[in-house]
Amino acid sequence: MTHTVPLPTASGLAALEARLRQDLDVLELPAKPWVPQRQHNGVAARDVVVIGAGMCGLAAVAKLQLTGIDNVVAYDAAPAGMEGPWLTFARMETLRSPKTLAGPALGLPALTFRAWFTAQWGDEAWLALDKIPKNLWMDYLIWYRKVLNLPVHNNVRLTAIEQAGSLIALDIDGAETGRLFTRHLVLATGRSGLGGMAIPDFLQGVNHRWWAHSADEIDFAALRGKRLAVIGAGASAMDNAATALEAGAGAVDMLIRRKTMPRINKMTGISSPGVIHGMHLLPDAWKWKFVDYSAATQTPPPRSSTLRVSRHPNARFFLDCGIVAVKEQADGLLIETTQGKMHYDFLIAATGFTNDFNGRPEFTAIAPHIRSWSDGRYHAEMGPPRQTMLAAPDLGPAFEFRERVPGNCPMLAHIHCFNDAAMLTHGKVSGDIPAISTGAERLVLGITASLFAEDVDRHFNNLTAYDNPELQGDEWTDSTPLLKQENTL
Ligand SMILES: Cc1cc2nc3c(=O)[nH]c(=O)nc-3n(C[C@H](O)[C@H](O)[C@H](O)COP(=O)(O)OP(=O)(O)OC[C@H]3O[C@@H](n4cnc5c(N)ncnc54)[C@H](O)[C@@H]3O)c2cc1C
């Protein structure tokens, strides 16, 4: 079975949900709520607000709840069931990842994609399944949220962040609008969530009617019969080109700057618990070396996505084809490349995302204060000064931001960057499927320790005030002291 699945059985899913409830019960999870309530001017504050309810946000909220931190909420700008890229700009047919990954299951077998799938379609269908169709992955995430009863509110966008005493004030807009307060803020805002789409210089000023970024909404039907240029050689470049070809594009040219296609998925090749748990504890020079090497060697597009393009006779691959300039003309675009001039009706830039926080209005208050690797963490002897890596935030052990100038923005210590931008500091544990549970555990461990330490006086008072006796006093009788006994002998 590849991209279609037969009708599921509801009874199988009900049994799985019962098994999950039992597993949680046996493990005494969720833990009892233990965090004292805080208020701001008489208004109850949240312990943690999570922005984004894609895979990372859901895993973070789930882990917080299991840890007894239940005064938590997640907000997502997208409608329910539409979070993340899966039903919007993810234009591949299946995930790249192997179907067997435990993903956001947080160590609970009944919470895995595999358990969810086999409960409904059986073991035979599991064996027949090749890769996970992307819609099915979204269905699984919807179930994950439902079965754990996670507190997620949709159609709500974070618009501003402000320090409010020891708390953080958040302005939110949409289905719920207003100001709320929280002790910790988790930004699970995805690949584009801290910056935005990376737009190359040669497209600056070019009218948007002629081009789109690969993560834009694109009217592929309008490309029927048209000449299309796709810039890039990554997975998104292939998926967008294939979608256009399948929608009847007249001709699609892949314009690829590199001389050869990257062919080896290096980091996947060395994946291990060592990499997942050890990378963030390595000296900075080693972290730099790993990420720099991965950036230089690049991740190849999946074979299936590449074949989905090349099987069309009207698709062409131009390697070693850098873009010199893009000029608007009356009937389309003139693209000057290192291989000559070409005419197109439309261009799709599959050029990825940036971590430039300055481009996002909701981060205006924090952006200038966020310490990045360029602020002293990078040293020339680590390797070449790659711009995207220099801009990466310099994070603490719980993904918390650090201040560029100590004292200028103290709330950063309580704002956690739980998304792709954390990779240089933490390894790949807050963006992709394979190690997301480890990322959520690391994040929640840090938040737990911080919430406990901040309330340590109250916890100590609880210790001294606790007076529930285990012994009733009638379990023994005091014997006459030995000395007295000797004297009477
Ligand atoms: C096309 C594509 C294919 C991928 N395929 C794979 C794969 O096969 N295997 C793999 O391991 N990884 C894959 N990834 C990488 C990764 O798994 C996904 O990017 C995944 O969606 C990451 O989850 P996330 O929660 O970090 O971000 P997202 O799923 O993007 O969720 C972020 C959420 O934050 C919300 N948000 C952002 N800003 C705000 C705001 N201000 N207010 C409120 N809400 C906000 C957004 O609406 C969004 O729903 C893929 C990524 C892409 C883009």
- Give per-residue burial for 431-450: e unless 16+ CB within 10 Å, then b: bbbbbbbbbbbbbbebbbeb
Task: Check if 265 has its Cβ closer than 6 Å to any atom of ligand 1.
Answer: no
What is residue 5's predicted lDDT score, i.e. its pLDDT?
56
Centre of ligand 1 from the C-alpha of residue 344, in Å: 31
* Cβ atoms 426, 417 nearer than 8 A: no
Q: Which atom of ligand 1 is nearest to the CA of 84?
A: 29
Centre of ligand 1 from the C-alpha of residue 105, in Å: 17
The strand pairing partners of 153, in sequence order, are 75
The strand pairing partners of 174, in sequence order, are 156
Picking from 262, 239, 388, the residue whose alpha carbon sits closest to that of residue 319 is: 262
C-alpha distances (whole Å) from 110 to each of 94, 180, 276, 309 are: 23, 35, 22, 37
E strand residue ranges, 110-234: 152-154, 156-164, 167-174, 178-187, 196-197, 211-213, 227-231
CATH architecture of 201-263+300-349: 3-Layer(bba) Sandwich (3.50)
Task: Check if 188 has its Cβ closer than 6 Å to any atom of ligand 1.
Answer: yes
Task: Return d(Cα 269, Cα 435) in angstroms, integer.
Answer: 14
Task: Check if 83 has its Cβ closer than 6 Å to any atom of ligand 1.
Answer: yes
* Cβ atoms 81, 142 nearer than 8 A: yes
Q: Which atom of ligand 1 is nearest to the CA of 90?
A: 1
Structural Rg of the chain based on CA atoms:
27
Element (H, E) at 253: strand 251-255
Which CATH code fits 10-195+355-456? Answer: 3.50.50.60
Task: Check if 158 has its Cβ closer than 6 Å to any atom of ligand 1.
Answer: yes
Residue whose structure tokens are 């309330």: 455
Task: Give me the sheet containing 346-349, strands edge to edge.
Answer: 211-213, 346-349, 227-231, 251-255, 315-318
Task: Check if 99 has its Cβ closer than 6 Å to any atom of ligand 1.
Answer: no
Centre of ligand 1 from the C-alpha of residue 232, in Å: 20
Instruction: Name every residue whose Cβ is closer than 8 Å to that of residue 71 and which is 6 or more positions away in sequence.
Output: 33, 35, 37, 44, 46, 47, 48
What is residue 1's predicted lDDT score, i.e. its pLDDT?
42
What is residue 2's predicted lDDT score, i.e. its pLDDT?
45
Residues in the chain: 489
Task: Return d(Cα 85, Cα 197) in angstroms, integer.
Answer: 13
Task: Return d(Cα 249, Cα 254) in angstroms, integer.
Answer: 13
What is residue 194's predicted lDDT score, i.e. its pLDDT?
79
Centre of ligand 1 from the C-alpha of residue 352, in Å: 13
What is the DSSP-derived secondary structure letter of residue 361? G
DSSP for 463-474? HHH----SS-S-
Amino acid letter for position 200: P
Instruction: For residue 406, say if its preceding peptide bond is cis, omega within 30 degrees of 0.
Output: no
Task: Check if 94 has its Cβ closer than 6 Å to any atom of ligand 1.
Answer: no
| Domain 10-195+355-456 matches domain 201-263+300-349 at the CATH topology level | yes
Cβ burial of 386 (10 Å; 0-12, 13-18, 19+) is middle
Angle between helical axes of 113-128 and 134-147 (0-180°, round to 10): 150
What is the DSSP-derived secondary structure letter of residue 48? E
Centre of ligand 1 from the C-alpha of residue 360, in Å: 17
Give, using CA atoms, the residue closest to atom 48 of ligand 1.
84
Q: Where are the domains of the chain?
A: 10-195+355-456, 201-263+300-349
Give, using CA atoms, the residue closest to atom 2 of ligand 1.
90
For the chain (length 489 residues), average pLDDT per consecutive 10? 60 96 98 96 95 98 98 98 97 96 98 98 97 98 98 98 97 95 97 85 96 97 98 97 98 97 93 96 97 95 97 98 97 97 98 86 95 96 94 97 98 97 96 97 98 98 97 91 71
Task: Return d(Cα 288, Cα 282) in angstroms, integer.
Answer: 10
Instruction: Name every residue whose Cβ is closer than 8 Å to that of residue 247 and which is 6 or more positions away in sequence.
Output: 220, 221, 223, 224
Picking from 86, 268, 65, the residue whose alpha carbon sits closest to that of residue 148 is: 65
What is residue 488's predicted lDDT score, i.e. its pLDDT?
65
Give, using CA atoms, the residue closest to atom 22 of ligand 1.
431
What pTM does this model have?
A: 0.95
